[in-house]
Amino acid sequence: MTNPSISFIVPALNEEEHITGAIATILSAIEILGTMEYEIVLVNDGSTDKTGELMEEAASNNTRIKVTHNPQNLGLGGAWKSGVAIAEKDYVMMVVGDNIMPVGDIVSVVKKIGEADIILFHLANPRLRTWGRRIGSVGFVRVINFLFGLKIKYYQGLVPRRELLKKIKIKTNSYAFPAEVVVKLIKAGHSYTELGISGTPCRRDKSVALQPRRLWMVFLTILDLFKEVKEYEKKLSTEN
């Protein structure tokens, strides 16, 4: 693919303190990258503060910025899907609205697009995360890799080709949605490449991803995904 373009999906829930900075960070990365075709898709995921207003203000000053508002909170996966639904570029990359991802990491990831169908990025220094998040992340990755016979380093950081997302059904709105996307695309035969990013210390002491309700949703997603993939593999085996 020659000179692939990119849509940045920016989901945000009550991020009035950080959303403007997140937009500025992406624009700084684009400036470093030079002449790249891009768009920024801002997703207001049911915020009750001024996040939505700040998004609309940013869009009014930049024609490459789009805004979509979810009337109610759909969760990270649901917000991502809302953004993908109106994205138009070749690849889609999520940059969450808390502005935690450094400019340099965005640049490093975007430079890889076009090398494979899916770009997967992981934190090169896991010590930047709390023990709880590190243990949870390692456990999640090992379970997914074991169940589906993969050797992926990290599932949450993904930049897939947008057209490929039309070929799969993403069922979950939970934090496990990247794993669902990656597993289904890889099982369908699409290529991927991985890279490590420098990252920055987590701003929050406790990840909401580790809340019991969210962990239960992740478990249900994995269970459903396992059944779906096994049915898909059985169908392929029968056809062959």
User: Model confidence over 41-58: pLDDT tens digits?
Assistant: 999 999 999 999 999 999
pLDDT digits (tens, 9 = 90+) for 177-213: 999 999 999 999 999 999 999 876 555 544 555 556 6
Mean of all residue pLDDT scores within the chain? 88
C-alpha distances out from residue 133 to 85, 126, 211, 217, Å: 30, 9, 11, 17
Confirm if 100 and 197 have CB atoms less than 8 A apart. no
Which one has a higher pLDDT value, 176 or 110? 110
Q: What is the pLDDT of residues 4-27, one digit of tens each?
A: 999 999 999 999 999 999 999 999
The predicted structure's pLDDT at residue 7? 98
The neighbouring-strand residues paired with 91 are 6, 161
CATH placement of domain 6-239 = 3.90.550.10
pLDDT in tens, 83-107: 999 999 999 999 999 999 999 999 9
158 vs 139, residue with greater confidence = 158
The answer to whether the beta carbons of residues 116 and 193 sit under 8 Å apart is yes
